[in-house]
Amino acid sequence: MDQPQLIQERSAPPATLVIFGASGDLTRRKLLPAVESLARHGRLPDQFALVGVARTPMSDEQFAESALGGRSLSEKRQLAGGVRYVSGGYDDPETYKRLAETLDELDAQRGTSGNRLFYLSTPANAFEPVICGLAGAGLNQANEGSFARLVIEKPYGRDLATARELDGVVHAAFDEANVFRIDHYLGKDTVQNVLALRFANSIFQPIWDRSWVDHVQITVAETLGVGTRGGFYESAGAMRDIVQNHVLQVLALALMEPPASFGGEGLRSEKVKLLQAIRLPTDRDIADAAVRGQYTRGGTREELMAGYREEVGVDPLSRTETYAALRLNVDNWRWAGVPFYVRTGKRLPARVTEVALQFQRPPHLPIPTSQLTELDADALVLRIQPNEGISLRFGAKVPGHSFRVRTASMDFSYDQTFVEESPEAYERLLLDALVGDASLFIRSDEVEQSWRVVDPIIEHWTNDRSPIPTYEAASWGPADADRLIGRNGRKWRNSI
């Protein structure tokens, strides 16, 4: 009898991780803890090194200790003696000369084999000088048998034109195969569970199309306002900050065709095909298919929340949207005629990310309508955060002498089912980039297709000088959003 094969846990090869923007918030909150966790779980070899690069003057020891709130990285066996810091301007060639010397030194001392992963955790306006600086110092080129890879955070451009300009800079220095555009949503286990649900279970495939699905809702709701990010958010808005990347990535995973395999380019190619099939909104259609909003003061007497225009760094006359809702159509064989409603917003009543497929109602119900007063349409809900899991909603008889039917649910809870620890998104994605697995990263043509969808809407809103619709903080958005989905007798899942 064949013995079951053990799953080989992945670990990083010898390499140096170079973080640009090493003194910044993302590095402190996400990247350094991810490195520490990878080391703690034995995913990093002894031949691993970490280099921080930023303008802020700092010693190697200060970088290691301050970035982790006093928990020294050198306490980790895999990182002992392998932490360096290089200070300097991103547009200064001397910065990259010192970086090259440091990397060569680590290759000799640590045995990192000339493998380098450059992580751009900087503001977007630093992307070009950093990439050009790396190329100018020859750090974009790897020796035979080694790699030089680039990880880039969002935002990747402000629109299709600037995304293409950035691609030109990137591809002049790095081949596409060595470029890893990161969207941390794709590193979440529960986002990847969308793939598991769809492609590891044959029972769902026959109903995952236009014949059974009435419509799909995708919600990314936040309870927080913009906080201290008012200045950034003024130049972004909900469409650029969330819809162009997180929402469309989740939509693509939920609706794409089955890939031939999850390896290589199969997964990413199917996502691109789905994004290409989204019908482009025309200027005439946008008023009926897209809604924006901006939160105003709201909440309770005990917890009164400021309006967006009252936040630090925000223009008192701002027209930036903090809420966006769209109706999208996918013109392919599987989904033709099925509307897809997506929404995202700040200062909403609940923090939730979910995909909900609502199914067609039965063509004929022999049960009197008086006995169906609490019966909703069947639905399959994929909860990405919080309370991660899956819920199947269906009709069931209520116990008793009469034949009454109301909605019931079967729930799968991620935390209660699995005892394994779920890695943080950045931990998973850092390891993927070190290993060279690009499946959960964004390809160049994916970026273009995403901008292709949202650009016409952003341009329309920019040219529309009418007052921006508003909604009270802690409400579910502007009334226009309810009218958007309600035109065909549907409604948002607001009792989440």
Residue 406 in marked binding region: no
Strands 352-359 and 323-329: unpaired
Strands 352-359 and 379-385: antiparallel
Residue 188 in marked binding region: yes
Question: Helical H runs in 56-159?
Answer: 60-67, 93-110, 127-136
String of DSSP letters for 327-365: EEEB-STTTTT-EEEEEEESS-SS-EEEEEEEEPPPS--
- Contact call for residues 261 and 385 (beta carbons, < 8 A): no
Asked if the peptide bond before residue 155 counts as cis, ω within 30 degrees of 0, the response is yes
DSSP lists the bridge partners of residue 385 as 353
User: Residue 219 — φ and ψ, nearest 5°?
Assistant: -120, 130
Residue 241 in marked binding region: yes
Residue 397 in marked binding region: no
Residue 100 in marked binding region: no
Residue 215 in marked binding region: no
Give the C-alpha separation, 103 to 114, whole Å: 8
Instruction: Say which DSSP state 4 is in.
Output: P
Residue 255 in marked binding region: no
Cα angle 291-295-300, degrees, rounded to a multiple of 5: 135
Report helix, strand or coil for 413: strand
Residue 55 in marked binding region: yes
DSSP lists the bridge partners of residue 470 as 294
- Contact call for residues 160 and 448 (beta carbons, < 8 A): yes
Residue 257 in marked binding region: no
Rg (CA), the chain: 25
Give the C-alpha separation, 297 to 305, whole Å: 6
Which among 296, 321, 319, 126 is positioned nearest to 242, based on CA atoms?
321
Which among 264, 468, 222, 261 is positioned nearest to 349, based on CA atoms?
222
Which among 132, 51, 17, 63 is positioned nearest to 426, based on CA atoms?
17
Give the C-alpha separation, 154 to 144, whole Å: 30
**Catalytic-residue membership of 460:** no
Which residue among the candidates 246, 364, 401, 460 is catalytic per the annotation?
246
Residue 28 in marked binding region: yes
Residue 288 in marked binding region: no
Residue 162 in marked binding region: no
Give the C-alpha separation, 21 to 12, whole Å: 22
Residue 97 in marked binding region: no
Residue 26 in marked binding region: yes
408: left (phi over 0), alpha (psi -120 to 50) or beta: beta
Residue 43 buriedness (CB in 10 A; 0-12 / 13-18 / 19+): buried
- Contact call for residues 110 and 45 (beta carbons, < 8 A): no
Asked if the peptide bond before residue 93 counts as cis, ω within 30 degrees of 0, the response is no
Annotated binding site for substrate: 184, 188, 222, 241, 346
Annotated binding site for NADP(+): 21-28, 55, 154
Catalytic residue numbers, as ranges:
246
Annotated binding site: 21-28, 55, 154, 184, 188, 222, 241, 346
